[in-house]
Structure 1
Amino acid sequence: MVSGLDGRPGGSSDRRFTVEVRPGPEAGVVVVQVTGELDHDTAEPLRSALGNAVAGGARRIVVDCAELRFCDSTGLNVLLRARLAAQGGEARVELAALRPQVARMLAVTGAAAVFPRYASLGEALAVPRQE
Protein backbone atom coordinates (compact mmCIF):
# COMPACT_ATOMS: atom_id res chain seq x y z
CA MET A 1 0.00 0.00 0.00
CA VAL A 2 1.17 3.50 -0.83
CA SER A 3 -0.24 6.46 1.03
CA GLY A 4 0.14 10.17 1.41
CA LEU A 5 -1.26 12.91 3.58
CA ASP A 6 -2.91 15.90 2.07
CA GLY A 7 0.00 18.11 3.20
CA ARG A 8 -2.22 21.03 4.16
CA PRO A 9 -1.59 22.74 7.48
CA GLY A 10 -3.83 21.23 10.10
CA GLY A 11 -4.51 18.18 7.90
CA SER A 12 -5.92 15.24 9.78
CA SER A 13 -5.95 11.50 9.34
CA ASP A 14 -9.48 11.61 7.88
CA ARG A 15 -7.97 13.47 4.90
CA ARG A 16 -5.49 10.67 4.18
CA PHE A 17 -5.24 9.40 0.63
CA THR A 18 -4.22 5.79 0.10
CA VAL A 19 -3.49 3.67 -2.92
CA GLU A 20 -3.50 -0.11 -2.80
CA VAL A 21 -2.34 -2.14 -5.80
CA ARG A 22 -3.18 -5.81 -6.18
CA PRO A 23 -3.34 -8.32 -9.01
CA GLY A 24 -6.67 -8.86 -10.70
CA PRO A 25 -8.35 -12.22 -11.23
CA GLU A 26 -6.37 -13.00 -14.38
CA ALA A 27 -2.91 -12.31 -15.72
CA GLY A 28 -2.35 -8.80 -17.00
CA VAL A 29 -5.07 -7.24 -14.83
CA VAL A 30 -4.12 -4.87 -12.00
CA VAL A 31 -6.57 -3.34 -9.54
CA VAL A 32 -5.64 0.05 -8.08
CA GLN A 33 -7.86 0.94 -5.14
CA VAL A 34 -7.92 4.61 -4.16
CA THR A 35 -9.31 5.97 -0.92
CA GLY A 36 -9.75 9.55 0.25
CA GLU A 37 -9.17 12.84 -1.53
CA LEU A 38 -7.10 12.98 -4.71
CA ASP A 39 -5.63 16.42 -5.29
CA HIS A 40 -2.37 18.27 -5.92
CA ASP A 41 -0.97 17.35 -2.51
CA THR A 42 -1.84 13.64 -2.67
CA ALA A 43 -1.48 12.70 -6.34
CA GLU A 44 2.05 11.27 -6.31
CA PRO A 45 1.20 7.82 -4.86
CA LEU A 46 -1.40 7.28 -7.58
CA ARG A 47 0.91 8.61 -10.30
CA SER A 48 3.57 6.16 -9.15
CA ALA A 49 1.20 3.18 -8.85
CA LEU A 50 -0.27 3.72 -12.31
CA GLY A 51 3.16 4.26 -13.84
CA ASN A 52 4.44 1.04 -12.26
CA ALA A 53 1.41 -0.90 -13.51
CA VAL A 54 1.95 0.35 -17.07
CA ALA A 55 5.71 -0.30 -16.91
CA GLY A 56 5.02 -3.75 -15.46
CA GLY A 57 3.07 -4.76 -18.54
CA ALA A 58 -0.48 -4.65 -17.22
CA ARG A 59 -3.04 -4.99 -20.03
CA ARG A 60 -5.92 -3.65 -17.94
CA ILE A 61 -5.61 -1.28 -15.00
CA VAL A 62 -8.88 -1.02 -13.12
CA VAL A 63 -9.01 1.95 -10.75
CA ASP A 64 -11.49 1.17 -7.96
CA CYS A 65 -12.96 4.55 -7.01
CA ALA A 66 -15.57 3.31 -4.50
CA GLU A 67 -13.81 5.15 -1.65
CA LEU A 68 -12.57 8.15 -3.66
CA ARG A 69 -14.36 11.09 -2.04
CA PHE A 70 -12.86 13.91 -4.12
CA CYS A 71 -10.77 14.39 -7.25
CA ASP A 72 -9.47 17.73 -8.53
CA SER A 73 -7.86 18.66 -11.85
CA THR A 74 -4.49 17.29 -10.74
CA GLY A 75 -6.03 13.90 -10.03
CA LEU A 76 -7.81 13.98 -13.37
CA ASN A 77 -4.51 14.82 -15.07
CA VAL A 78 -2.86 11.79 -13.39
CA LEU A 79 -5.61 9.52 -14.72
CA LEU A 80 -5.47 11.00 -18.21
CA ARG A 81 -1.68 10.73 -18.44
CA ALA A 82 -1.81 7.12 -17.23
CA ARG A 83 -4.43 6.41 -19.88
CA LEU A 84 -2.16 7.79 -22.60
CA ALA A 85 0.84 5.84 -21.32
CA ALA A 86 -1.24 2.65 -21.17
CA GLN A 87 -2.53 3.16 -24.71
CA GLY A 88 1.05 3.40 -25.92
CA GLY A 89 1.49 -0.18 -24.73
CA GLU A 90 -1.95 -1.27 -25.95
CA ALA A 91 -3.34 -1.38 -22.42
CA ARG A 92 -6.37 0.29 -20.85
CA VAL A 93 -7.09 2.31 -17.74
CA GLU A 94 -10.66 1.74 -16.56
CA LEU A 95 -12.66 3.31 -13.73
CA ALA A 96 -15.00 1.44 -11.41
CA ALA A 97 -17.52 2.50 -8.75
CA LEU A 98 -17.35 6.26 -9.25
CA ARG A 99 -19.05 8.29 -6.55
CA PRO A 100 -21.45 10.96 -7.87
CA GLN A 101 -19.16 13.92 -7.19
CA VAL A 102 -16.23 12.31 -9.03
CA ALA A 103 -18.46 11.10 -11.88
CA ARG A 104 -19.79 14.64 -12.25
CA MET A 105 -16.27 16.11 -12.49
CA LEU A 106 -15.44 13.58 -15.23
CA ALA A 107 -18.66 14.42 -17.08
CA VAL A 108 -18.21 18.20 -16.83
CA THR A 109 -14.64 18.01 -18.15
CA GLY A 110 -15.50 15.55 -20.93
CA ALA A 111 -13.08 12.96 -19.53
CA ALA A 112 -15.89 10.50 -18.91
CA ALA A 113 -15.97 9.80 -22.64
CA VAL A 114 -12.39 8.50 -22.75
CA PHE A 115 -12.48 5.99 -19.88
CA PRO A 116 -14.33 2.69 -19.80
CA ARG A 117 -16.49 3.02 -16.65
CA TYR A 118 -18.25 0.39 -14.57
CA ALA A 119 -20.80 0.63 -11.78
CA SER A 120 -18.71 -1.61 -9.50
CA LEU A 121 -15.34 -3.32 -9.29
CA GLY A 122 -17.09 -6.67 -9.65
CA GLU A 123 -18.73 -5.54 -12.88
CA ALA A 124 -15.40 -4.32 -14.24
CA LEU A 125 -13.63 -7.56 -13.40
CA ALA A 126 -16.43 -9.64 -14.95
CA VAL A 127 -15.76 -8.11 -18.37
CA PRO A 128 -14.14 -10.73 -20.60
CA ARG A 129 -10.52 -10.20 -21.50
CA GLN A 130 -10.06 -8.30 -24.76
CA GLU A 131 -7.00 -8.91 -26.91
Structure 2
Amino acid sequence: MNPLGVRTRRSAAGPVLELAGDLAYESAPEVRDLLPTLELEPGQQLLVDLGGLTFCDSSGITVLIAARNHAEAARATLALAAVPPHVARILRLVGLEPILTSYPTPQDATDAWARRADGS
Protein backbone atom coordinates (compact mmCIF):
# COMPACT_ATOMS: atom_id res chain seq x y z
CA MET A 1 0.00 0.00 0.00
CA ASN A 2 1.22 3.48 -0.92
CA PRO A 3 0.62 6.04 1.83
CA LEU A 4 -1.62 8.90 0.79
CA GLY A 5 -0.01 12.28 0.34
CA VAL A 6 -2.35 15.23 0.70
CA ARG A 7 -1.43 18.77 -0.24
CA THR A 8 -3.61 21.86 -0.45
CA ARG A 9 -3.01 25.16 -2.17
CA ARG A 10 -5.00 28.05 -3.60
CA SER A 11 -5.50 28.99 -7.21
CA ALA A 12 -7.36 31.90 -8.79
CA ALA A 13 -10.36 29.57 -9.05
CA GLY A 14 -10.32 28.43 -5.42
CA PRO A 15 -8.80 25.66 -3.31
CA VAL A 16 -6.82 22.82 -4.86
CA LEU A 17 -6.55 19.44 -3.20
CA GLU A 18 -3.71 17.30 -4.53
CA LEU A 19 -3.82 13.58 -3.74
CA ALA A 20 -1.01 11.10 -4.36
CA GLY A 21 -0.79 7.44 -3.33
CA ASP A 22 -3.67 5.20 -2.24
CA LEU A 23 -7.06 6.75 -1.49
CA ALA A 24 -8.58 3.84 0.39
CA TYR A 25 -10.43 2.86 3.53
CA GLU A 26 -7.46 3.71 5.75
CA SER A 27 -6.75 7.14 4.25
CA ALA A 28 -10.20 8.35 3.19
CA PRO A 29 -11.18 9.75 6.63
CA GLU A 30 -8.20 12.12 6.55
CA VAL A 31 -9.37 13.64 3.27
CA ARG A 32 -13.04 13.66 4.26
CA ASP A 33 -12.14 15.52 7.49
CA LEU A 34 -10.08 18.03 5.52
CA LEU A 35 -12.90 19.02 3.16
CA PRO A 36 -14.79 21.32 5.56
CA THR A 37 -11.59 23.31 6.15
CA LEU A 38 -11.32 24.18 2.44
CA GLU A 39 -12.97 27.58 2.22
CA LEU A 40 -15.07 28.09 -0.88
CA GLU A 41 -16.92 31.16 -2.03
CA PRO A 42 -19.94 31.00 -4.32
CA GLY A 43 -18.81 30.67 -7.91
CA GLN A 44 -15.39 29.29 -7.04
CA GLN A 45 -14.09 25.87 -7.97
CA LEU A 46 -12.77 23.12 -5.73
CA LEU A 47 -10.16 21.32 -7.80
CA VAL A 48 -9.11 17.79 -6.85
CA ASP A 49 -5.90 16.81 -8.62
CA LEU A 50 -5.72 13.02 -8.85
CA GLY A 51 -2.60 12.85 -11.00
CA GLY A 52 -0.59 11.05 -8.33
CA LEU A 53 -3.29 8.59 -7.29
CA THR A 54 -2.16 4.97 -7.49
CA PHE A 55 -5.25 3.27 -6.04
CA CYS A 56 -8.82 4.21 -5.22
CA ASP A 57 -11.42 1.99 -3.58
CA SER A 58 -15.08 2.65 -2.77
CA SER A 59 -14.07 4.77 0.24
CA GLY A 60 -12.09 6.99 -2.11
CA ILE A 61 -15.07 7.34 -4.44
CA THR A 62 -17.15 8.34 -1.42
CA VAL A 63 -14.58 11.08 -0.67
CA LEU A 64 -14.98 12.43 -4.22
CA ILE A 65 -18.75 12.54 -3.73
CA ALA A 66 -18.23 14.32 -0.38
CA ALA A 67 -16.00 16.86 -2.16
CA ARG A 68 -18.78 17.48 -4.69
CA ASN A 69 -21.29 17.92 -1.86
CA HIS A 70 -18.96 20.36 -0.09
CA ALA A 71 -18.62 22.42 -3.26
CA GLU A 72 -22.36 22.43 -3.94
CA ALA A 73 -23.13 23.49 -0.37
CA ALA A 74 -20.93 26.54 -0.98
CA ARG A 75 -22.59 27.19 -4.37
CA ALA A 76 -19.27 26.37 -5.99
CA THR A 77 -18.25 23.66 -8.44
CA LEU A 78 -16.04 20.61 -8.24
CA ALA A 79 -13.51 19.70 -10.90
CA LEU A 80 -11.33 16.61 -11.03
CA ALA A 81 -8.02 16.81 -12.85
CA ALA A 82 -5.58 14.23 -14.17
CA VAL A 83 -7.90 11.34 -13.33
CA PRO A 84 -5.95 8.09 -13.73
CA PRO A 85 -7.51 5.60 -16.18
CA HIS A 86 -8.32 3.09 -13.44
CA VAL A 87 -10.27 5.73 -11.50
CA ALA A 88 -11.98 7.07 -14.63
CA ARG A 89 -13.16 3.52 -15.36
CA ILE A 90 -14.67 3.18 -11.88
CA LEU A 91 -16.44 6.55 -12.21
CA ARG A 92 -17.82 5.49 -15.57
CA LEU A 93 -18.97 2.06 -14.31
CA VAL A 94 -20.80 3.43 -11.28
CA GLY A 95 -22.42 6.24 -13.25
CA LEU A 96 -20.58 9.16 -11.64
CA GLU A 97 -18.77 10.36 -14.74
CA PRO A 98 -21.57 12.80 -15.72
CA ILE A 99 -21.66 14.51 -12.30
CA LEU A 100 -17.93 14.57 -11.52
CA THR A 101 -16.51 16.80 -14.22
CA SER A 102 -12.93 15.98 -15.09
CA TYR A 103 -10.16 17.65 -17.06
CA PRO A 104 -6.86 16.32 -18.41
CA THR A 105 -4.77 18.70 -16.27
CA PRO A 106 -5.24 21.09 -13.36
CA GLN A 107 -4.53 23.99 -15.73
CA ASP A 108 -7.32 22.83 -18.07
CA ALA A 109 -9.73 22.85 -15.13
CA THR A 110 -8.65 26.33 -14.06
CA ASP A 111 -8.91 27.62 -17.63
CA ALA A 112 -12.44 26.20 -17.96
CA TRP A 113 -13.43 27.89 -14.70
CA ALA A 114 -11.98 31.21 -15.92
CA ARG A 115 -13.98 31.00 -19.16
CA ARG A 116 -17.18 30.37 -17.18
CA ALA A 117 -16.37 33.22 -14.77
CA ASP A 118 -15.81 35.56 -17.72
CA GLY A 119 -19.06 34.44 -19.29
CA SER A 120 -17.39 33.15 -22.43
- TM class by shorter-chain length? 0.7 to 0.9
Superposition map of 1:1-131 within 5 A: 15-24=2-11, 26=12, 29-53=14-38, 56-58=39-41, 59-127=44-112, 128=114, 130=116
Q: Whole-Å Cα distance in 2 between the matches of residues 105 and 89 of structure 1? A: 27
CA RMSD of aligned residues (A): 1.6
SS of 2:75's equivalent?
Answer: coil
Provide the TM-score with structure 2 as the length reference: 0.86
CA deviation profile, 1:73-131 (whole Å, cap 9, x unmatched): 11111111221232122111210001110111111111111011101112112221645
Higher relative contact order (CA 8 A, sep 6+): 2
Gaps of 5+ in 2: none
Percent of counterpart pairs with the same letter?
Answer: 30
Aligned length: 114
Q: Which has the larger radius of gyration?
A: 1
Q: Whole-Å Cα distance in 1 between the matches of residues 115 and 46 of structure 2? A: 12
Q: Whole-Å Cα distance in 1 between the matches of residues 115 and 35 of structure 2? A: 20
Cα offset, 1:16, TM superposition: 0.9
Gaps of 5+ in 1: 1-10
Letter in 2 for 1:57: L
